Chains A and B, each alone.
Chain A
Amino acid sequence: MNINRPLMPGFLKRAEQKLLLNKPLIWSTRVHLVLYYGILYNLLLAGLCFVAPIDLTGYSHAPYWIGFIVIIDIIGLTVWLIYLLRFNVFKKYGNIKPLHALVTFLMYFISVGIIVLSAFVYPAVECIRANVAFGDEELVHDINTMNIRICQLEHKRLNTPWKYDTVAPVKDIKVKADSLPREVDYDTIVAPVEPAVIPAHGSYKLDTATFQDRLVHADSVVKLNDTMYLDYQTPDLLFVSAYRMEDGDTREKLLSSFEIYNRSIRNPPASGENTAIAKELLQLQNKYLNKSNSYYPGYGEEVEPGETTNGLIRKKYHIADISTSVYNIANKKDTFSDTSLGLIIRSFYYFTLVISLLVFIFRHTTVRTFFLSLLTGVLLTIFTVLIESLANGGFEMFIGSMIGYALLFFVGTIFTFSLAKRSKVNGILINLFIFMIPVLPLLVVDLIYELKKEQNYRQHGSYYGAEVEQYFAYAEIGGAVLLLVLLATYLNKVYRRWYSLPEN
């Protein structure tokens, strides 16, 4: 073997030779080369992302990087496909084992996966860099410090009378029928109208439990008499907002307006301290201020007639830009947080799955049948949507149709075993069936969910109560398992039979 590939080490050359002579299936998928070059590429990319200048306080450049990397990925994918299409054990009627289809699919999935993975390298590096540069503690501390220092410097302006509500407990609240909205929008209302809180011109009559709760959480309370209190609310002193940091598990917690008030306005600093406070604030401002966060630099910072005190302070200290910076940092830090991890994993999985399935189908069917299958898939979707719109059907009808198609395709695959000639229609049904397997359990769960929602609405007048959300995740995993099981047991035989049938 004469291998002159760039950056190919000796061990890989030996592996290539060994695989060619002993494991032609694995060799033909080129998974070893994709893995090696893919890891090399991802490492190189990660290194590049680490040294590339990133302004962590600015807007993320991830979309541009991802766009650029996707172009390289498409080129990489094309090169892989060119090599992949050269050799095909299945189409050459070689010795294939019962697990041939499963192993082949897994090889494709790994190869595609390593290519798709590179699209996530930049966001990952950005996340790491943001976490290294700005610790959670540091960020919370800086936000608190900035808010306190601003309030300290502006304590005279901010020391204004507080707003208050008059609250009174009542034993039993009767709701007049005519006080309810005449037309109820059941799509948006999530529960029966809450009778506990009824606005009464700035004063509230509360049931005992709500009343007690309000007293406990009130910033300041003045008792007027046994049944009437004034509930004072601290003005908004959270100038620098703390996006995504509210529920963090930092030792230092974000201060509320009330706490900031106590530390700054209630006990204002001596006038001699102002210079030091301003200096400290300026340092923090410089740390976070990023003028490029404004779409139009300077826009929105002019003082307009009738400007509120709060607005004036915000403009004076460039709070909008600083808050955006904090938002950008927090956003980058949380790219792979629990809330967004599911979405990232799903995008990786489904992109990889779709490409792997397309490659798998292409390698197990004729070129004409492959493209006819794609065309049929598109036409069927258009047809279904059209019928749906004409019949005024709901989402459940659409899902029902999809499940119906999957069953129809499955029946089509069974017919493969009774055919004497290779039929294009049969090939299309097989190809479309394999494409639907991973989402079939998801469709079933979704249909059950929709039907249950409908049933709840009929019985209780509300769509809620059909809590099957957790089953969606199980269905996704189930879809993947079902695909693997069918590849190992059924689809292997179906493709073997269909492809080798004589033509007409």
Chain B
Amino acid sequence: MHTRIAEIQSYLRHNDHSLAVRRILDASLDTADGALLQEAIRVSQSYRQYKQGELPASFFESAQQLLNKINTVTERFAYQSTRLVTARDISKTYGSGNFSLQPISIQINTGDVLGVVGENGNGKTTLLRCMAGQLALDGGNLEFPLLEHPDHYDIKHHLAFIPQRIPRWYGLLKDNLHFAAAISGITGEENRIMVDFMLERLDLTPYAHLTWTQISSGYRTRFEIARILLQKPRLLILDEPLANLDINAQQSILTDLRFMAKSVHNPMGILLSSQQLHEVEKIADTVLLIKNGSCLFRTGEQEKTAAAFVIELETTANREALLNILNGNGELQFNGGFYTITSKELQAQQILTKLVTGNIPITYFRDITHSTKRFI
């Protein structure tokens, strides 16, 4: 049994049905078999039909049958990571001269998720627009190894940029998806199947026959992602994709993006910016912290590895109680919302143990030793 199939079966066994269905769809897409894909769409539709109540046994049977079929062609799941884009010391200064993006180098391969975090007005969007070929560079260069002698049109066809403020769609949402697929060369029956797949995959089927004004901003983001994915970009650039999403949707979209980046059907690199750094850190291979137009920190950089363990803590206990627990083995800072504990001696788990044994009520605890949060 292939590990992916085993993983999906485990989701089914432990009632993670939604995740299981999404992963079944992904797996069937990766087999590049239209019949399996259509079967997966039917499984997903069946799940949607019963998801409010108890799922019938027929759902599990059909899911299991499909998984068995997929298991016979798992050799198709293998893919090799290739270099998509290399940015060397790219920089940008706006004409008004009030903001400059300092030279930054980035490399993105297929399957990579690269997060860009930072406060507002520090250059995240500028960096993303430079990478998307929307802004002319003042320095450095971009290289797209997969394209031979590309012109700018080829480059923009090769990548997709989803801005924070998504331009309005006109007409039926489903027509827009069919159109997006068709202009990228997905025609005929394949177009119909892929649109149905994408609608199921992003849980958009009930909204397909609506218009832009009839859906919420969160669904607009999902539809935009669906549209872009149908165009099969090799590099997906998203500017603040989480801004309009509720907390559950944020988790779901980020997980989906992670899976889609590593899809065998269309492996791609993802570059996204966000202010939700913990969420981004969870799924990104590399996170860049941008401050005042410069890359302040990049996860994995040895020279900037933390010299002490740092945790964030939210509690109703007072400062004295916490200092007693630390017993001189760390520093305590309070920013009004939560405490930051920095300790060279105690690791996060040890601090947590001390807090629990000391009967300190904990409402929030996070180890930020390796997080970009340390720099904000």
Show the binding face of A for B, using Cβ within 8 Å.
1-2, 20-25, 27-28, 85-87, 89, 92-96, 420-422, 496-497, 499-504
Q: Would you call A501 and B152 a contact (CB within 8 A)?
A: yes
Q: Which residues of A contact B176 (CB under 8 A)?
A: 87
Q: Would you call A500 and B152 a contact (CB within 8 A)?
A: yes
Q: Identify the closest chain B residue to A87 (Cβ).
A: B179
Binds A, one of B12-20, B167-175, B215-223: B167-175
Q: Which residues of B contact A24 (CB under 8 A)?
A: 179, 182-183
Nearest CB in chain A: distance from B186 CB, A: 9
Q: Would you call A1 and B152 a contact (CB within 8 A)?
A: no
Q: Identify the closest chain B residue to A96 (Cβ).
A: B153
Binds A, one of B78-86, B133-141, B303-311: B133-141
Q: Would you call A86 and B170 a contact (CB within 8 A)?
A: yes
Nearest CB in chain B: distance from A126 CB, A: 40
Listed by A's residue number, 19 A-B pairs whose Cβ atoms lie within 8 Å are A21-B178, A24-B182, A27-B179, A86-B171, A87-B176, A89-B183, A92-B180, A92-B231, A94-B231, A95-B183, A96-B153, A499-B153, A500-B153, A500-B155, A500-B156, A501-B152, A502-B134, A502-B136, A504-B136
Give CA–CA (A95, B192) in the complex, Å: 18
Nearest CB in chain A: distance from B220 CB, A: 16
Give CA–CA (A501, B133) in the complex, Å: 8
Q: Would you call B172 and A1 a contact (CB within 8 A)?
A: yes
Nearest CB in chain A: distance from B294 CB, A: 22
Nearest CB in chain B: distance from A482 CB, A: 25
Q: Which residues of B contact A23 (CB under 8 A)?
A: 182
Most buried by B among A24, A497, A503: A24
Q: Which residues of A contact B155 (CB under 8 A)?
A: 500
Q: Which residues of A contact B172 (CB under 8 A)?
A: 1-2
Give CA–CA (A462, B192) in the complex, Å: 73
A1-B174, A2-B209 known; A94+B136 contact, CB < 8 A = no
Q: Would you call B136 and A21 a contact (CB within 8 A)?
A: no
Give CA–CA (A287, B348) in the complex, Å: 110
Most buried by A among B133, B134, B179, B184: B179
Q: Would you call B157 and A21 a contact (CB within 8 A)?
A: no
Q: Identify the closest chain B residue to A421 (Cβ).
A: B136
Nearest CB in chain B: distance from A190 CB, A: 58
Q: Would you call B174 and A28 a contact (CB within 8 A)?
A: no
Q: Which residues of A contact B156 (CB under 8 A)?
A: 93, 500
Give CA–CA (A94, B156) in the complex, Å: 9
Give CA–CA (A499, B188) in the complex, Å: 29
Q: Does any Cβ of A come within 8 Å of B206's Cβ?
A: no
Give CA–CA (A503, B188) in the complex, Å: 36
Give CA–CA (A27, B153) in the complex, Å: 22
Q: Would you call B171 and A503 a contact (CB within 8 A)?
A: no
A22-B182, A22-B188, A94-B184 known; A497+B136 contact, CB < 8 A = no
Q: Would you call A21 and B175 a contact (CB within 8 A)?
A: no
Q: Which 4 A-B pairs have the closest CB atoms?
A: A94-B183, A500-B152, A86-B170, A24-B182
Nearest CB in chain A: distance from B121 CB, A: 20
Q: Would you call B191 and A21 a contact (CB within 8 A)?
A: yes
Nearest CB in chain A: distance from B275 CB, A: 25
| Contact among B134, B175, B184 with A1 in the assembled complex (CB-CB below 8 Å) | B175
A21-B188, A500-B152 known; A93+B157 contact, CB < 8 A = yes
Total count of chain B residues near the partner, CB < 8 A: 31
Q: Would you call B136 and A503 a contact (CB within 8 A)?
A: yes
Q: Identify the closest chain B residue to A20 (Cβ).
A: B178
Q: Which residues of B contact A497 (CB under 8 A)?
A: 151-153
Q: Identify the closest chain B residue to A493 (Cβ).
A: B151
Nearest CB in chain A: distance from B234 CB, A: 13
Give CA–CA (A86, B211) in the complex, Å: 12
Q: Does any Cβ of A come within 8 Å of B187's Cβ?
A: yes
Q: Would you call A22 and B187 a contact (CB within 8 A)?
A: yes
12 further contact pairs, Cβ within 8 A, besides A1-B178, A503-B136: A2-B209, A20-B182, A21-B182, A22-B182, A22-B187, A22-B188, A93-B153, A95-B185, A496-B151, A497-B151, A501-B136, A502-B152
| Contact among B133, B175, B183, B191 with A92 in the assembled complex (CB-CB below 8 Å) | B183
- Restricting to B219-274, which residues have a CB under 8 Å from any CB of A? 231
Q: Does any Cβ of A come within 8 Å of B97's Cβ?
A: no
Nearest CB in chain B: distance from A428 CB, A: 19
| Contact among A20, A85, A499, A500 with B175 in the assembled complex (CB-CB below 8 Å) | A20
Q: Which residues of A contact B187 (CB under 8 A)?
A: 21-22
Q: Which residues of A contact B188 (CB under 8 A)?
A: 21-22
- Per-residue CB contact flags for chain B residues 112-139 toward chain A (1 = under 8 Å, else 0) read 0000000000000000000001111100
Q: Which residues of B contact A85 (CB under 8 A)?
A: 170
Nearest CB in chain A: distance from B285 CB, A: 27
A94-B157, A94-B184 known; A500+B151 contact, CB < 8 A = yes
Give CA–CA (A89, B181) in the complex, Å: 11
Q: Does any Cβ of A come within 8 Å of B95's Cβ?
A: yes
Q: Identify the closest chain B residue to A85 (Cβ).
A: B170
Give CA–CA (A213, B372) in the complex, Å: 109
Q: Which residues of B contact A1 (CB under 8 A)?
A: 172, 174-175, 178
Nearest CB in chain A: distance from B243 CB, A: 23
Q: Identify the closest chain A residue to B159 (Cβ).
A: A93
Q: Would you call B179 and A28 a contact (CB within 8 A)?
A: yes
Q: Would you call A95 and B184 a contact (CB within 8 A)?
A: yes
Give CA–CA (A23, B151) in the complex, Å: 24
Give CA–CA (A503, B174) in the complex, Å: 31
Nearest CB in chain B: distance from A3 CB, A: 9
Q: Which residues of A contact B183 (CB under 8 A)?
A: 24-25, 89, 92, 94-95
Give CA–CA (A25, B157) in the complex, Å: 16
Most buried by A among B95, B136, B137, B171: B136
Q: Which residues of B contact A95 (CB under 8 A)?
A: 157, 183-185
Give CA–CA (A85, B137) in the complex, Å: 31
Give CA–CA (A25, B152) in the complex, Å: 21
Q: Identify the closest chain A residue to B209 (Cβ).
A: A2
Give CA–CA (A28, B178) in the complex, Å: 12
Give CA–CA (A282, B135) in the complex, Å: 84
Q: Identify the closest chain B residue to A89 (Cβ).
A: B183
| Contact among B95, B134, B170, B192 with A21 in the assembled complex (CB-CB below 8 Å) | B192
Give CA–CA (A499, B157) in the complex, Å: 13
Q: Which residues of B contact A421 (CB under 8 A)?
A: 136
Q: Would you call B95 and A504 a contact (CB within 8 A)?
A: yes
Q: Would you call B152 and A20 a contact (CB within 8 A)?
A: no
Give CA–CA (A22, B185) in the complex, Å: 9
